[in-house]
Structure 1
């Protein structure tokens, strides 16, 4: 199954944070921070998009944004384009 965002929305695959502190302490799932970075997996219709976000872009977004969607064993976030705060450039 494939999801196609409608309008000015993007589908993001969040990048999970570290499961171990720099000192070597393993963190349980409940102690981990919510992800704030991810990779764009799909974008909505281009005529409604204000920015030039595209599939594969690595982006930064607020902690508690978007709608969680579970598909094929992965958890995605569906969010408005305006919720994306920045794009990482390499």
Structure 2
């Protein structure tokens, strides 16, 4: 299934969290939180401004981003969890 976000929305694939802490302690699945870091898989063309012109998105496909814990709408594409969210829900681009 192919998904094309509209306007200022992006499709984000969550990135997996580390299995253990920096101190070497393994984290069980029951204690893990959903990661708040992901990769942009698809992006819309941008949001129209008052003049009717499209304002391009700051993020692009392939960018690693941080987002709020409850941002976006979760969807499952071919068994992989993704999020559809507005660009304004993205907190930062990770280099």
Smaller-chain TM-score bracket: 0.7 to 0.9
Secondary structure (helix, strand or coil) at the match of 2:30 reads: helix
**Equivalent residue for 1:27?**
27
> Larger Cα Rg: Structure 1 or Structure 2?
2
Aligned-partner Cα distance in 2 for 1:79–1:32: 22
C-alpha RMSD over aligned residues: 1.7
Q: Normalising by the residue count of structure 1, what TM-score does the alignment of the two structures yield?
A: 0.85
Secondary structure (helix, strand or coil) at the match of 1:42 reads: strand
Aligned-partner Cα distance in 2 for 1:53–1:65: 16
Instruction: Note the alpha carbon deviations across 1:9-45, whole angstroms, 9 max, x for none.
Output: 0000111211222333322222112211111000012
Is the Cα–Cα contact under 8 Å of residues 45 and 56 in structure 2 kept in the other structure? Answer: no
Q: Normalising by the residue count of structure 2, what TM-score does the alignment of the two structures yield?
A: 0.81
Aligned-partner Cα distance in 1 for 2:38–2:63: 8
Aligned-partner Cα distance in 2 for 1:44–1:55: 10
**More strand per residue:** 2
Residue segments in structure 1 that go unaligned for 5+ positions in a row: none
Aligned-partner Cα distance in 2 for 1:4–1:51: 14
